[in-house]
Copies of this chain bind each other. A is one copy, B any other.
Amino acid sequence: MYRIDNLQYANWSEKIFRQMREGGLDAVHVTIAYHENFRETVLNMERWNRWFEQHSDLILKGRWAGDVRRAHESARTAIFFGFQNPSPIEDDIGLVEVHHDLGARFMQLTYNNQSLLATGCYEDDDTGLTRMGKQVVREMNRVGLVVDMSHSADRSTIEAAEHSERPITITHANPHFWQPALRNKRDNVIRAVTDNGGMMGFSLYPHHLKDKSACTLESFCQMVADCAEKFGAEHFGIGSDLCQDQPDSVVEWMRVGRWTKEIDYGEGSAAAPGFPPMPSWYKDNRDFGNIATGLATVGFSQAEVEGLMGDNWFHFYEQNFKPAS
């Protein structure tokens, strides 16, 4: 029914908004902060507000699950805000509710590094949720800001899943058993998230794919089938991590922010520091439907395909964006 991509960070433009429509996307969760502080994040929101005003025929601001329906009915795409790092709340728990009021719906407790809240997946030692991290998770639960652990370390992720009173997410990653990348998740981590009602979005970022840019649609969809068998298809959707049209300076900002004066190549290398080419069957939003075709081919039912393509995220939005009652 609904098509939702639960993570993108493109160099947004009218062209891309039109491509979302061509791909039939009813909703996209967009990253609006990597290392930005509170004021910088608000400036990014202001830029989106201009786009909502200028391109009101293509996109609308997503706040609630009902906005996905509204977007679908008016042939537009609902844009939901998220942060890949807790930098937008700085050291102030009161900003959790402020950001929810401003439309934020997902926040990672860490990017790759240790944060004030938890440990990132690139640190040597993972000490789990910090004192502030435990407080912030409960505050996120209260207001309806969803915990995302995509770039967090294993113990931190498992502790977040257990400490949180509402389901948490890994918005964009793949299973480690398929492609043993640092960012991909081991079974015990996926299980901790899904056992507590949470969801994971499958990533199409080449560093997370088997054979990277050469990954086949068949291999990707078979991996989805394997995950569905292990953990239940209803716990999965797509979080493509599409970084379309971004200059390489942006991947450098994502990796080094202001935390180091040296270059950190993250999942890349000195020889290949930029964004890798996307797989041939998913170059941009217009190809989103190819995934549905591939999923049907590996044996998913029509209802399962619809769930994986967006309805699972839709139901998750329905349950988790409102304040706790």
Contact = CB atoms under 8 A, between A and B. Distances in A.
Contacts of A42: 38, 95, 98
Interface residues of A, number: 16
Contacts of A38: 39, 42
Contact of A101 (B39, B94, B95, B101): B101
A97 B39 contact: no
Nearest to A53: B142
Tell me the interface secondary structure of chain A in the complex.
helix
Contact of A39 (B39, B45, B102, B103): B39
A124 interface: no
B102 A49 contact: no
Given A101-B102, A103-B101, A94 B49 contact: yes
A142 B95 CA distance: 26
A229 interface: no
A73 interface: no
A95 B38 CA distance: 13
Nearest to A49: B97
Nearest to A92: B46
Contacts of A98: 42, 45-46, 49, 102
A43 B94 contact: yes
A50 interface: yes
